[in-house]
Structure 1
Amino acid sequence: MKNKFLLHLSLTKGLGAFGKQRLYQFAKRHQWWQFDSLEVRLLAQTTKPNDWNEWTSDRLQEIDSTHQYITIEDEDYPEVLRHVPTPPIVLFYKGNLQLLKREMLAIVGARGATNYGYHVLQELMPDLTKRGFVIVSGLAKGIDSFAHQFAISNQGKTIGVVGTGLDICYPKTSGNLQIEMSQHQLVLSEYPNGTRPAKFHFPMRNRIIAGLSTGVLVVEAKKRSGSLITAQQALDYGKDVFVVPGSILDGRSSGCHQLIQDGAICVEKTQDIFDSYDLWKKIH
């Protein structure tokens, strides 16, 4: 009953992340998992129309039988993700769920990455994987894909978080990588199969990347960059933000330099990351 309610809630459109969280917290507090459409709207505190009633038992059963997923109430759900303001109610997955139990470092950056960004990751990744970090990123072009690929080529582990259904590869250039990771690594989404990419999915995807990881490393980011959203979310969640500086001449790292000026940790070598982790562990 509980998991069916949580699946139903995650699939319902028109409630928003905060509305779903309010409804989930009410249901958990009262251990009551049956609601009608009016109760859903009132408890979620929204006047928007929603499609709660359109998710019949048959439709929910079809999703249940064709998807692998964990809910926020499951033991396998990552503890660190429970503590973000609007954690995903359900995570659909393909691959090795045990990777969620490991220490995770997010790596994000420019889609239009340069050779500089490529070589930075090539230089840093052997030590990061040797240290045991699972590398988390968004399977986008550029830095994201480089991060996943270098983690794999260095015999490390990696997790991709996507803003579509797991049956859709976006961008298409990441298709082979996503398929490989679905089999041998881990790919996550809060959207069911068939969900096409939409602009608002990607900031939502980024909050999962930031929430899962104990820190976020930014490589090549302009001032108006989705990577800065992930970095800001990480800061809001109390995570460390690590930043690789770049050239001052082309503007490709202007967002990185802004983060460093705002107090992010400047990274020139992997030890800069490890020192911060070791200090954090001593304090805690």
Structure 2
Amino acid sequence: MKNRQFIVFALLLACPLLLHGQETSLCGKESCNKGYIRHPWYGKKVGYIGDSITDPNCYGDNIKKYWDFLKEWLDITPYVYGVSGRQWNDVPRQAEQLKKEHGEDVDAIVVLMGTNDFNSSVPVGTWFTEKEEQVMAARGETKKLETRKRRIPIMTNDTYKGRINIGLSHLKKMFPDKQIVLLTPLHRSLAEFGEKNVQPDESYQNKCGEYVDAYVQAIKEAGNLWGVPVIDFNSVTGMNPMIEEQLIYFYDSGYDRLHPNTNGQERMAHTLMYQLLSLPASF
């Protein structure tokens, strides 16, 4: 009976979302005054850290970015620091720039990074080193020193996981009371930008023998290791440029099957908007 009551209550909460358009039911002040649900990220200030998929200068006005749609739909103020071609080792720099320019005047930070680490064949690596140490412990007896194995996060820019450790350590220390959300890298297909920049599709391994899946999985693992929510963009956006019919979401079927076009960015934004309903933007 209690379960049924909970389901009915949840459906009642969802009704305004089902019966009304997103611009009014999720965002509009007028709708909120009428008792509709207000999106928890409405009107927030959000920092965006990333690469070309986030970079406002990538294709310029030819592509409207996902954060621009969220600005329009949720009245979010975007602080955008994504730069084309950057990898996880650039996260600390982007975070420091955000801190320098906006200080504490930011509610949340979204990080979409990793596809260029794959393309550049950065070794995936491991999260920790282990060594034996003595530690004081007690279990119903007088405390004493015991020898136990201890794991220590690897902080190195030589591996993907080491870079993530450094990046999230910086973010957690610089913004300890802010919401930080990780997005997994999108699926990728052929990108041919010239004689010296040809990126095979994801059915091929990179030069260090890894498929892109390993770089996606590492972001998921990082969420648990660092206590950061992860939205699996690789799956929940529903976009896969390896499917010819889905190239409607990517910039050019001839030479750029990597970057989402405006339609793809809008689909990303729709996905992110609904995924973020389950997360607070501020505390």
Same fold judged by TM-score > 0.5? no
- Name the structure with the higher strand share: 2
TM-score (norm 2): 0.29
TM-score (norm 1): 0.29
- The one of the two structures with greater contact order (alpha-carbon pairs below 8 A, sep at least 6) is 2
- Name the structure with the higher helix share: 1
Larger radius of gyration: 2
